[in-house]
């Protein structure tokens, strides 16, 4: 697993260079590899890990939209 992690990070460095996304990508790779290291190697486990990693932004968007809907209804 460490080998895979290293290969992916190496390729991320090659692909993204100094792009600000690289840190996020490496963090995502680390989270996914950690899950795989723990023994759950299914695609579902990987997908769920990624989903959790981006959950906060989605939840923030959902919450903001719900609040906006409520505000706009109040104005209508």
- Enumerate binding residues for other proteins (CB under 8 A): 1, 4, 7-8, 11-12, 15-16, 21, 24-25, 28-29, 32, 36, 39-51, 53-54, 57-58, 60-62, 64-65, 67-69, 71-72, 75-76
Q: State the nearest-atom distance from the C-beta of 64 to other proteins, in Å.
A: 4
Contact yes or no for 2/13 (Cβ under 8 A): no
Cα(62)–Cα(46) distance, integer angstroms = 23
Cα(46)–Cα(31) distance, integer angstroms = 9
Q: Which is nearer to other proteins, 18 or 39 (CB)?
A: 39
């Amino acid at each position: 697993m460490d080998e895979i992690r290293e290969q992916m990070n190496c390729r991320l460095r090659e692909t993204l260079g100094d792009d600000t996304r690289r840190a996020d990508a490496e963090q995502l790779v680390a989270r996914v590899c950690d899950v795989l290291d723990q023994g759950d190697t299914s695609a579902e486990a990987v997908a769920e890990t990624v989903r959790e990693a981006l959950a906060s932004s989605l939840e923030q968007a959902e919450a903001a939209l719900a609040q906006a809907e409520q505000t706009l209804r109040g104005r209508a």
